């Protein structure tokens, strides 16, 4: 690829995932990634702090979730507000074009304990931001915390189903079903 081609961050991310899959995370360097993407090493560092950030860069989930929760109708229950966030993620983040990337990303993370730990930490940050958004809506602290934890569980279950090789459903459709399952489970506890 020529160096002037657009979308350098996505090209770098795709190249990194290819190399992580072929060689393993530990056996892939930043220079390898940049070369595979047809870019200079310095270009890599304009977009990512290190090779781990290709997988975990800017958290694209926190802002859309927090905004969707905040903008949910005043009468919406905390779980309904959470579901609106999942609708936004399905529309803007977890699109059908992104599914292949998500599948490959998950496979790389599952092979490396340090990456699994980083993924867990990002989940904790997302949970905290969802709880804060619920609290700003006026939910009592315990309700905000429990809803955020349930939301994190629902997100994990949704992602697991969405990236399953046999799946043909859209992210938002799966999320609505999972949120309903969570609501049912909570009612029986």
58 pLDDT more than 70: no
CA dihedral sign, ordered 3, 9, 10, 15:
positive
DSSP 8-state assignment for residue 6: S
- Answer yes or no: are the C-beta atoms of 93 and 61 closer than 8 Å: yes
Percent of the chain with pLDDT over 90: 86
Q: What average pLDDT does range 47-67 have in this prediction? A: 88
Is 59-188 in the same CATH topology as 8-55?
no
pLDDT higher than 50, residue 163: yes
Asked whether the beta carbons of 26 and 54 are under 8 A apart, the reply is no
Q: Summarize pLDDT for 109-149 with one digit per residue, the tens.
A: 999 999 999 999 999 999 999 999 999 999 999 999 999 99
CATH class of the 59-188 domain in this structure? mainly alpha
Q: Work out the pLDDT band at 4, boundaries 50, 70, 90.
A: low
pLDDT on residue 64: 92
pLDDT band, very low/low/confident/very high, at 1 (cuts 50, 70, 90): very low
Q: Looking at the chain, how many residues does it have?
A: 189
- For residue 121, give every residue at least 6 positions away whose Cβ sits within 8 Å of its Cβ, in sequence order, or none: none
Question: Which stretches does DSSP call E strand in 38-188?
Answer: none
Q: What is the pLDDT of residue 187?
A: 92
Where along the chain do its domains lie? 8-55, 59-188
Helix, strand or coil, per DSSP, at residue 168: coil
Mean pLDDT of 154-168: 94
CATH number given to 8-55: 1.10.10.60
Mean pLDDT score of the chain, rounded to an integer?
A: 92
Nearest alpha-carbon partner for 38 in 69, 10, 60, 61: 10
């Amino acid at each position: 690829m020529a160096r002037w081609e657009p979308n350098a961050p996505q090209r770098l991310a795709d190249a990194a995932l290819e190399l992580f899959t072929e060689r393993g995370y530990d056996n892939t360097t930043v220079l390898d990634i940049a070369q595979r993407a047809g870019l200079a090493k310095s270009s890599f560092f304009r977009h990512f702090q290190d090779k781990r950030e290709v997988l975990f860069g800017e958290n694209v989930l926190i802002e859309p979730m927090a905004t969707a929760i905040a903008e949910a109708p005043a009468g919406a229950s905390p779980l309904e507000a959470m579901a609106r966030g999942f609708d936004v993620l399905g529309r803007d983040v977890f699109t059908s074009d992104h599914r292949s990337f998500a599948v490959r990303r998950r496979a790389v993370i599952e092979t490396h304990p340090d990456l699994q730990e980083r993924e867990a930490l990002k989940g904790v940050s997302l949970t905290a931001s969802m709880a804060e958004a619920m609290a700003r809506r006026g939910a009592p602290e315990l309700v905000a915390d429990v809803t955020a934890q349930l939301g994190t569980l629902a997100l994990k279950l949704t992602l697991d189903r969405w990236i399953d090789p046999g799946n043909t459903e859209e992210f938002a459709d799966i999320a609505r079903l999972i949120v309903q399952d969570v609501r049912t489970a909570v009612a029986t506890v």
